[in-house]
Structure 1
Amino acid sequence: MEHTREKLSSRLGFIFLSAGCAIGLGNIWRFPYITGRYGGGAFVLIYLFFLVVLGIPVVVMEYSIGRRSQLSIARAFDVLEKKGQKWHLFSYAAMAGNYLLVMFYTTISGWMLAYFLKMVSGSFAGLDQAGVADTFSALQQDPIQSVLFMAAIILIGIVICSLGLQNGVERITKIMMTCLLAVMLLLVVRSVTLPNALEGLKFYLIPDFDKLREAGIYNAIYAAMGQACFTLSAGMGGMMIFGSYLDKKRTLGGEALNVMLLDTFVAITAGLIIFPACFAYGVPADQGPGLVFVTLPNIFNAMPFGTLWGSLFFIFMNFAAITTIVAVFENIMAFSMDLFHWTRKRACIVNFVLITLLSIPCALGFSILSGIQPFGAGSAILDLEDFLVSNVIMPLGAVLIILFCTTKRGWGWQHFIEEANTGKGFHFPQWTRFYISYILPCAVLFIFIMGIIDKFA
């Protein structure tokens, strides 16, 4: 291959980058929210099971394709498929999926940035519950604020990517991830020492199968499968790009396991912050996105030194958002560099303009464009973009990647397993071949079909 691929300078950089891609806002509000809905500790056990049996194999496959091809998803299939095959056509859907993801993620990340500034400046001090809820509505409905904060997030992400793989993306992600973990641990200590926090910990950590039955075991299983797939950002080449930056020293199963452990640690630690606080102040913990933007600011208001704890919480949320933005932007930069042989600088300039323009509809979706309600009253452009990424492109992409790595008509099992097991560390077991070739794609298709039924039934 003519081009020389950039490489990461350290294994920790790779783990933090991959985990940064996986650790998004979904871990932090969606995981505690669905855990709250499905009865706490019992749901966590089901989720961990599916994380291992569904998430890890797909991540290892993405790493393998990336490391063997030394390319992003934009061109990886072209290199590995046999002559005359059409697997590479999926790369266009995957690239579209990455753009779609940042089109709404930049808006949500912009809200996080706005909230951090509001918390630091004391804007929430003295507000009652209705006042906090009104603050969130006012932010969503203000087109200028929404677009400015969204553009600020894009600028931060692009500047980090423009500094290069090692000096920008890797170095800054390492700093942010280290700070994120440190701030989380501080917040856990504060949360578990609140009055009545023990009730929240019991609910969260002690499995209660009666509560699980009440919520519906079938629903809980489906929710756990969905969360396990989406949390690792598999199916759109997000992990493939980091595989292409990896050397051959270590096996890919071991690396995937490390990333999964870090991702799970953050999701579970988020629950240790949120559940004790919710129980301490008598607030329900199954409130969806409102949990972060409405419920938690109320809790911080009621706490001694609430502005300090609230500011720390939103710093941590911003780090989680920006590490994901940087990881997806890096993937998008790689498309431009692999497809058009652009320099990194040119890829950054063109994509800054492109991503900003593409993100505007979502940012205006609660104000000027609020009349666009793709799923009926109360829905917004954000819901459509999120649905296309999470419920359509990701699961179908994961199925295609599984078939590419396991069938003779694709890259094939032997090539995949050889690449995955090159190096020192945990070897991906040969005996999983039947499960991965036949059961796993059916399980992911089930998630896809249920997601469609859920949305439209």
Structure 2
Amino acid sequence: MERERFGSRLGFILVSAGCAIGLGNVWRFPYITGEYGGAAFVVLYLIFLVIFALPVLVMEFAAGRASQRSIARSYDELEPEGGKWHRFKWVGLAGNYLLMMFYTVVAGWMLAFMVKSAMGEFNGASTEHVASVFGQLLADPVQMTIYMLIIVAIGVITTRAGLKNGVERVTKVMMVALFVVLVALCVRAVTLPGAEEGLEFYLMPDFGKLFAGNTPAEQWATFGDAVYAALGQAFFTVSVGMGSMAIFGSYIGKDRRLTGEAVRVGVLDTLVALMAGLVIFPSCFAFGVEPASGPSLVFITLPIVFNAMPLGQLWGTLFFLFMSFAALSTVIAVFETIMAFSMDQWGVRREKACLVNGVLIALLSIPCVLGFNVLSGVAIPGIGDIQSIEDFLVSNNILPLGGLFLVMFVTSKRGWGWKNFLAEADTGEGLRFPAWSYRYMKYVLPVGIVIIFVLGYAPIVSTWLGVS
């Protein structure tokens, strides 16, 4: 079976960026930026993105292009004879499935809030009313299931149409629409009366905010938390570790070096996150809303902010349309990863892969839906409900361990090997991968990933031990 190809280089960049651009950019990034003092945190994040996340993204692109396979067969193709590296593919597949088991549900929330905003449900609403609307959504398994199934159907229909006619075409349209809506929201937000204070908070670094606290111990603890948050955000934002980027590497030719392509994807991904902040922080400061209000910022706080604006119903609807596009771009990209795994591993046709996996993802997403109502009592101390457990397994385990595994595979003589990786990454025209960085990639980068992994368990262990 001939390998499918993107119709254009722009398609590859937009689809790869679409996979990376998700709720981590437009939901998590703004509220953790608010929690850690604004611009100073953004600087930390950008540093870690360049020295930490982008090299791993290049590695995943290279593994896909060199093998011409998804994660289902990429390790098999590249490992030395008798190697066992390929066994990780099952962990990668599990990670993609786990991600979709809760991501389809959360994407459904965005779609639901777009509909509710368009219907004027938040017009003149108080904070308590908006909170009750969100609470009612979570308490209604039927409503959540309907929106989840709509998201799954969009993913299946898009991937069923093929790479060029489905994934590339739909993602191109969504990404262009996403940027148009985001630019409109940015212009509206930064021109609000009182927005200047929000812009200063977001764009003028005050590194003293990274050391908040009354004692040196508290100050260094705050700084450590900020570093960990920035490190984790930089790593997770480019979606490496589960093979989601390897599949897109396998769909491109060898005319461009991969470092430059990874930089372009990273720039687009980061641009969306930064622009989301330009919508949220000026809006919050203009209406006296606390920017460090956490995950509720999007679903409870921002509808109130948009409601206070002239034409608030329009701006609120556009915001949740933007959020829906951001979520759907990731859903479609991960669906393609899962479908390609089935085609590469078992040789099934795309139609059958889409049907079987679509049904499985829909069924496996039901526990997350029920975890907010019927199964709300199911929880793990220190982690949380079913959705939090699934998110924890992906974000705190499979993603960092997958990244670590990939770095070891690339830098080990018993794996793919550094020279083979460099040869693939530097094939074509464009920016070369820094060959001198071998020791950094082999020894320093893995330590950073291990730190992310270990610190991800610290709050859980503290809870289990009863330490405040």
Sort the TM-score into its range (normalised by shorter chain). Answer: over 0.9
1:256-287 deviation digits (Å, cap 9, x = unpaired): 00000000100000000000000011111122
Secondary structure, aligned partner of 1:314: helix
1:120-171 deviation digits (Å, cap 9, x = unpaired): 0111112111000000000011010011111110001110111110001001
Q: Which residue of 1 aligns with 2:466?
A: none
Q: Contact between 1:375 and 1:384, CA under 8 Å: does it hold in 2?
A: no
Q: Which residue of 2 aligns with 1:191?
A: 189
Of 274, 278, 283 in structure 2, the residue corresponding to residue 272 of structure 1 is: 278
Aligned mates of 2:116, 2:24 — CA distance in 1: 22
Q: Contact between 1:191 and 1:274, CA under 8 Å: does it hold in 2?
A: yes
Structure 2, unmatched stretches of 5+, are 214-221, 463-468
Structure 1, unmatched stretches of 5+, are none
Secondary structure, aligned partner of 1:75: helix
Aligned mates of 1:432, 1:91 — CA distance in 2: 27
One-letter code aligned to 1:364: L
Q: Contact between 2:35 and 2:294, CA under 8 Å: does it hold in 1?
A: no
Q: Contact between 1:111 and 1:149, CA under 8 Å: does it hold in 2?
A: yes
One-letter code aligned to 2:333: A
Q: Which residue of 1 aligns with 2:42?
A: 44
Q: Show the 5 A alignment for 1:328-367.
A: 328-367=334-373
Aligned mates of 1:375, 1:151 — CA distance in 2: 30
Q: Which residue of 1 aligns with 2:212?
A: 214
Aligned mates of 1:374, 1:149 — CA distance in 2: 26
| Residue 288 (structure 1) shift | 2.5
Q: Contact between 1:67 and 1:243, CA under 8 Å: does it hold in 2?
A: yes
Aligned mates of 2:164, 2:381 — CA distance in 1: 42
Q: Which residue of 1 aligns with 2:94?
A: 96
Q: Which residue of 2 aligns with 1:54?
A: 52
Q: Which residue of 1 aligns with 2:314?
A: 308
| Residue 429 (structure 1) shift | 1.1
Secondary structure, aligned partner of 2:158: helix
Q: Say if 2:295 is the partner of 1:289.
A: yes
Aligned residues: 454
Secondary structure, aligned partner of 1:304: coil
Q: Which residue of 1 aligns with 2:236?
A: 230
Aligned mates of 1:455, 1:105 — CA distance in 2: 22
One-letter code aligned to 2:393: L
Q: Which residue of 2 aligns with 1:246?
A: 252
One-letter code aligned to 1:423: G
Aligned mates of 2:107, 2:381 — CA distance in 1: 23
Aligned mates of 1:16, 1:228 — CA distance in 2: 19
Q: Contact between 1:55 and 1:228, CA under 8 Å: does it hold in 2?
A: yes
Scaled by the length of structure 2, what TM-score is found?
A: 0.96
Q: Say if 2:80 is the partner of 1:74.
A: no
Q: Contact between 1:200 and 1:278, CA under 8 Å: does it hold in 2?
A: yes
Q: Contact between 2:21 and 2:326, CA under 8 Å: does it hold in 1?
A: yes
| Residue 364 (structure 1) shift | 1.1
| Residue 80 (structure 1) shift | 0.8
Q: Contact between 2:210 and 2:226, CA under 8 Å: does it hold in 1?
A: yes
Moved over 3 A (4+): none
Of 390, 412, 418 in structure 2, the residue corresponding to residue 413 of structure 1 is: 418
Q: Which residue of 1 aligns with 2:154?
A: 156
- Range that drifts further, 366-375 or 379-388: 366-375
Secondary structure, aligned partner of 1:235: coil
What is the Cα-based RMSD across aligned positions, in Å?
A: 0.9
1:372-427 deviation digits (Å, cap 9, x = unpaired): 01236x92100000000000000000000000001101000000000000000000
Q: Contact between 2:257 and 2:432, CA under 8 Å: does it hold in 1?
A: yes
One-letter code aligned to 2:340: A
| Residue 196 (structure 1) shift | 0.7
Aligned mates of 2:328, 2:53 — CA distance in 1: 23
Q: Which residue of 2 aligns with 1:450?
A: 455
Aligned mates of 1:373, 1:282 — CA distance in 2: 35
Q: Contact between 1:28 and 1:270, CA under 8 Å: does it hold in 2?
A: yes
One-letter code aligned to 1:451: G
Q: Say if 2:315 is the partner of 1:317.
A: no
One-letter code aligned to 1:328: V
| Residue 111 (structure 1) shift | 0.6
One-letter code aligned to 1:416: F
Aligned mates of 2:342, 2:290 — CA distance in 1: 45
Aligned mates of 1:61, 1:108 — CA distance in 2: 29
Q: Which residue of 2 aligns with 1:431?
A: 436
